[in-house]
Amino acid sequence: MGNAVSETCVWCFTSQEEDSSLPENELQETNTTPLLLSQPKAQTKPLSSVREERKSVTSVELNETPRGTSFDTKNTDPLQEEKKSVALVELNEKPKGPSFDVELLVSLLDKATTEFVQHLELPLQEEGSQEMMNKDGFLIYSKEVPEGIMMKAQWLMPYAAKEFFEFLGNAEDRCRWDKSLESVSIIAKYPPDIVVTHSKFKKVPMISPRDVLLVSRVVKALNGSVIINTSCEHGELEPTESFVRATVKLSGYYVETIPTDEAGNKSRVVYINIANFGGKVPKSIIKSTSAKHIPGFVKKVHSEIALIMGK
């Protein structure tokens, strides 16, 4: 994921005409005869006639076929003209959407990644965590923290990290298969792989709709890779009355390659999320609802990846 920067070079050609006049009989000669820079003394013409001849000579010089290597200064190639037109539009086009402080985004991601790895190195069931689920290959634990609620989950999958991350990175397609979402918008992209997204979640019974503004990237960590997310802010994307803004301290999936087992699983996934969902919903309800949501979400992701891969 990244941005392509288009640069446009505009070349300007200028020409300087010599002040010369030629006799009428020499205008009909071929290009192999040098042009004379003075008139025969035997002929004396009025000044007005000389000026007309100068105009005629200039016209002929401009229309002559150049000797040696020729350059198409008119550039009649339609494809080249189209490229020039597009380049000029890109040059004059103003960036769309809000711009972010990239250094701040990198700092937020670095901080979130560091803390994510710290939790990754701890036991899956950290001190004070409650077991929320242990079935169908899913281990899920949760506990309350000062920033909100922490969820940690683990499962195996039959896909590599690259396949998993590429699928999750397709934000434009997510609303098609994730029915909890109302919309997902890519707000900005910065090379090499930083992406800012704004997600709006649908209203569910007794719970107001949420939205979240996240910055994300994929990094190497321990023996695998992590797609890491954390909340960011922008003056043009302030919370509105229509949605309760959730705040994500860190959220991500760690994927590590394992020897393929009998079920065809080739990766171990650890999900860690520390977030404040906002509003007044009791934390006990958020913990139980989130835990129940994870297996269904993961199975849907796996089935969608299988369809893409033709399995």
Cite the residue boundaries of each domain of the chain with CATH code 3.30.530.20. Answer: 102-309
Q: Residue 142 forms beta bridges with which residues?
A: 130, 151
Q: Which of 47-51, 73-77, 209-213, 218-222 has the lowest mean pLDDT?
A: 73-77
Cis peptide before 192 (omega within 30 of 0): yes
| Cα 54–chain centre separation | 59
Percent above pLDDT 90 for the chain: 51
**What does DSSP assign to residue 10?**
-
**C-alpha span between 150 and 251 (Å, rounded):** 9
The model's pLDDT over 191-200, given as tens digits with 9 standing for 90+, comes to 888 999 999 9
152: helix, strand or coil: strand
CB 241 within 8 A of CB 274: no
Local structure of 169: helix, strand or coil: coil
Contact 123, 143 (CB under 8 A): no
Average pLDDT value for residue range 290-307 = 93
307 has pLDDT over 80: yes
Comparison of pLDDT for 82 and 229, the residue scoring more: 229
Enter the pTM of the model.
0.68
Q: What is the pLDDT of residues 266-297, one digit of tens each?
A: 999 999 999 999 888 888 888 998 999 999 99
- Considering the domain delimited by 102-309, tell me its CATH architecture: 2-Layer Sandwich (3.30)
Better-scored residue on pLDDT, 90 or 247: 247
Map tokens 């997204």 to a residue: 197
